[in-house]
């Protein structure tokens, strides 16, 4: 082989290897355009999706749009104030938002200020990650009475969500009933019963803290339609309830019939959770625990095999006097067991009812396919059906299930689907897209001024200083107007 031929051969081999490397790295072989991706929603799903896209491809640019002036979604407005460690993911999200190839646009209401179709014209791909901001209803008479709240709104109230600022729940009753036994239900119970000396050191909204300081609630019942072996909370949340200062557990031993015998056959996570329940319900407490319980001024209890059928009004017909529960029997066993109503009912006197039966996604734009029965966007691995270039992640994709780590994994899956579509040519990359440039022009014409991430950092700084002055990690601004005022100061 001549020197020229060898050089030609080496160049050809190098070119072939580079093309293979480029393909593996995900740099589209079909176009030299930089993929411009829009993410709608700045909660965990939105940030995790953006993070994975930018990590996997060195040329992708991501813009995140958020309805509120502040980012982080349920990490800010859903995580309990006494769980600051869960909020540490904000540090990772901040790194993503400050990345050179990522931009944040708060105060932009997609579906109102700008349509999804307009976003699709400006970007190669649009990912809907705006979560579940609606409430699942109980579907029973009396649920619209005063003093009946959804857990979503109640959590929003104590976490400083602007739309829940004026909730003003009446906490002058002795007993509250929470319908549902998931982690959110236990969060609400814990906040209602926690000593305010603990809460005043958190970022709980000040009006909520003041209301809880005056609260007369001394007993919280957490009601579920199935049994102890189907309870939906995790062991961490249950353990916190068991150890809650100043509170004791009060369970019905009859709810645990047959449970000790079934314990050996349970999967390990379920077994550990059930063992803790049994310990709280049936085991004789140690002398130290007896003493702790005797000093407790508040109590809580899980009530199993009960379904709400009616909220009873008080004497003037506006407030709540009691909730009527039907007693259930289980058909089947294990996780698949189904609750069936019997004719037996019981009334539980209470002045506050909180429904914790689940969040629900809502449709924000009529152009987006939506399954109203399941309250999700119909999708396959995050690809929205019959809508090329449109994707979804998080609770909008799966329904309101799992914890932040679950959302992370399903968001990464959506990002991978999008990247596969770039590589395969399924996603149209034939032309460059203007991205945020054209959207900013549209918004300006419509009188909408976005909040940038550096604007959010001004809000953040103000909230931290406000908190510092009262011994809290943060004192949140509670209105959109105040947020915007600080952002643009």
Do 314 and 446 belong to one domain?
Answer: no
Residue 11's pLDDT is what? 35
Q: What is the 3-state secondary structure (H, E, C) of 188-241?
A: HHHHHHCCHHHHCCCCCCHHHHHHHHCCCCCEEEEECCCCHHHCCCCHHHHHHH
Half-sphere exposure of 246 (CA within 13 A, CB side): 14
Residue 335's pLDDT is what? 86
Do 98 and 214 belong to one domain?
Answer: no
Do 317 and 370 belong to one domain?
Answer: no
261 assigned to some structural domain = yes
Alpha-carbon gap, residue 165 to 134, rounded angstroms: 16
> Helix count (H) and strand count (E) of the chain?
18, 18
Angle between helices 44-56 and 89-97 (to 10 degrees): 50
446 assigned to some structural domain = yes
Half-sphere exposure of 481 (CA within 13 A, CB side): 1
Of 237, 247, 269, whose CA–CA distance to 403 is shortest? 237
Structure tokens that stand for 39 in this block: 């993410």
Of 302, 301, 321, whose CA–CA distance to 311 is shortest? 321
Per-residue pLDDT of the chain (489 residues; tens, 9 = 90+): 444 334 334 433 443 343 343 344 444 344 458 999 999 999 999 999 999 999 999 999 999 999 999 999 999 999 999 999 999 999 999 999 999 999 999 999 999 999 999 999 999 999 999 998 888 999 999 999 999 999 999 999 999 999 999 999 999 999 999 999 999 999 999 999 999 999 999 999 999 999 999 999 999 999 999 999 999 999 999 999 999 999 999 999 999 999 999 999 999 999 999 999 999 998 888 888 888 888 999 999 999 999 999 999 999 888 999 999 999 999 988 888 999 999 999 999 999 999 999 899 999 999 999 999 999 999 999 999 999 999 999 999 999 988 888 999 999 999 999 999 999 999 999 999 999 999 999 999 999 999 999 999 999 999 999 999 999 999 999 999 999 999 999
Radius of gyration, CA atoms only, the chain: 26
Do 81 and 196 belong to one domain?
Answer: no
Identify the domain boundary among 315, 333, 358.
Answer: 358
Residues in the chain: 489
Q: Are 480 and 69 in contact (CB under 8 A)?
A: yes
Identify the domain boundary among 331, 358, 385.
Answer: 358
Alpha-carbon gap, residue 420 to 128, rounded angstroms: 18
Do 347 and 366 belong to one domain?
Answer: no
Do 391 and 445 belong to one domain?
Answer: yes
- How many domains does the structure of the chain reveal? 2
Do 302 and 164 belong to one domain?
Answer: yes
Do 206 and 147 belong to one domain?
Answer: yes
Q: What CATH number should be reported for the domain holding residue 231?
A: 3.50.50.60
61 assigned to some structural domain = yes
Identify the domain boundary among 358, 392, 420.
Answer: 358
Alpha-carbon gap, residue 154 to 355, rounded angstroms: 9
Do 266 and 350 belong to one domain?
Answer: yes
Convert the pLDDT of each residue in 381-417 to its tens digit.
999 999 999 999 999 999 998 888 899 999 999 999 9
211 assigned to some structural domain = yes
Do 163 and 200 belong to one domain?
Answer: yes
Alpha-carbon gap, residue 8 to 5, rounded angstroms: 5
189: left (phi over 0), alpha (psi -120 to 50) or beta: alpha
Q: What CATH number should be reported for the domain holding residue 50?
A: 3.40.50.720
Do 385 and 337 belong to one domain?
Answer: no
Structure tokens that stand for 477 in this block: 């601004």
476 assigned to some structural domain = no
Q: Decide the pairing of beta strands 359-360 and 175-179.
A: unpaired
Do 206 and 307 belong to one domain?
Answer: yes
484 assigned to some structural domain = no
280 assigned to some structural domain = yes
90 assigned to some structural domain = yes
Domain containing 274: what range?
Answer: 136-358
The pTM for the full model equals: 0.90
Alpha-carbon gap, residue 69 to 456, rounded angstroms: 7
Convert the pLDDT of each residue in 356-367 to its tens digit.
998 999 999 999
């Amino acid at each position: 082989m001549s020197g020229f031929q060898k050089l030609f051969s080496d160049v050809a081999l190098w070119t072939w290897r580079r093309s293979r490397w480029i393909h593996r790295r995900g740099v589209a072989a079909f176009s030299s355009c930089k993929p411009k991706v829009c993410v709608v929603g700045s909660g965990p799903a939105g940030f995790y999706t953006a993070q994975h896209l930018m990590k996997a491809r060195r040329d992708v640019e991501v813009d995140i749009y958020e309805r509120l002036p502040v980012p982080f979604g349920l990490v800010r407005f859903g995580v309990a104030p006494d769980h600051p460690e869960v909020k540490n993911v904000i540090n990772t999200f901040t790194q993503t938002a400050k990345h050179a190839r990522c931009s944040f646009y708060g105060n932009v209401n997609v579906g109102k200020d700008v349509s999804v179709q307009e976003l699709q014209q400006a970007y190669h791909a649009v990912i809907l990650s705006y979560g579940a901001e609606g409430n699942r209803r109980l579907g029973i008479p009396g649920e619209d009475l005063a003093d009946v709240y959804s857990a979503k709104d109640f959590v929003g109230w104590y976490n400083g969500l602007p739309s829940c600022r004026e909730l003003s729940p009446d906490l002058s009753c002795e007993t509250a009933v929470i319908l549902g036994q998931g982690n959110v239900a236990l969060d609400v119970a814990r906040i209602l019963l926690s000593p305010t000396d603990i809460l005043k050191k958190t970022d709980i909204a000040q009006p909520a803290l003041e209301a809880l300081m005056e609260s007369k609630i001394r007993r919280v019942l957490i009601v579920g339609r199935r049994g102890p072996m189907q309870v939906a909370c995790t062991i961490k949340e249950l353990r916190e309830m068991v150890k809650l200062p100043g509170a004791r557990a009060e369970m019905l031993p009859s709810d645990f019939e047959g449970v000790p015998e079934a314990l050996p056959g349970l999967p390990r996570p379920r077994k550990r959770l059930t063992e803790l329940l049994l310990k709280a319900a049936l085991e004789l407490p140690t002398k130290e625990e007896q003493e702790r319980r005797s000093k407790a001024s508040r109590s809580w209890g899980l009530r199993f095999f009960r379904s709400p059928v009616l909220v009873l009004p008080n004497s003037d017909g506006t407030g709540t006097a009691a909730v009527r529960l039907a007693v259930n029997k289980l058909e089947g066993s294990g996780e698949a067991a189904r609750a069936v109503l019997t004719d037996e009912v019981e009334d539980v006197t209470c002045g506050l009812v909180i429904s914790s039966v689940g969040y629900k996604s809502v449709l924000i734009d009529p152009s987006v396919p939506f399954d109203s029965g399941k309250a999700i966007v119909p999708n396959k691995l995050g690809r929205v059906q019959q809508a090329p270039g449109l994707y979804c992640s998080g609770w909008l994709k799966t329904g309101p299930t799992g914890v932040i780590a679950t959302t992370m994994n399903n968001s990464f899956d959506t990002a991978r689907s999008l990247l596969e579509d770039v590589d395969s040519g399924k996603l149209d990359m034939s032309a460059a897209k203007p991205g945020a440039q054209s959207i900013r022009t549209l918004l300006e014409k419509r009188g909408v001024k976005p909040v940038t991430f550096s604007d959010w950092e001004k809000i953040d700084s103000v909230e931290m200083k406000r908190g510092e002055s009262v011994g809290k990690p943060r004192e949140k601004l509670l209105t959109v107007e105040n947020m915007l005022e600080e952002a643009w100061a």
